[in-house]
Amino acid sequence: MEHLAADMITDHSDEATLDGLIETFRRDFTRMGFWEKVIDLFTPGSHHATILNATALCFIASFPKGRAYLERMGELSQAEAGSLCLLKMPLSLMHAPISSASAALT
């Protein structure tokens, strides 16, 4: 995350390199393991995948180069929607469903 942030702040990264960094960041940040996916799918009220995706988009959109990337990809409105989703979401949903469901499996 720090490497991506540094490259998004400086002007020395070309667009293709920056796009690759952003895509790698999104893939890695939103990756969920098998059990996380199962828990998220079958736990009522779980929003783990939604939270990860919205957080990644908001982070990317927090930089001018990131907003430009999202605009090129046609995803800037998704970042805006993700931001609104996170702002409306109760804090208890951001931790409890996955944590409690994971504990139940162990």
Give the single-character DSSP code of 29: H
- SS3 state at 75: coil
The pTM of this model reads 0.72
* pLDDT tens per residue across span 20-73: 999 999 999 988 888 888 887 888 777 888 889 999 999 999 999 999 999 999
Question: 101 pLDDT exceeds 50?
Answer: no
- SS3 state at 43: coil
Residue where the block lists tokens 């090129």: 72
Residue 33: closest CA among 98, 83, 100, 106: 98
Question: 102 pLDDT exceeds 60?
Answer: no
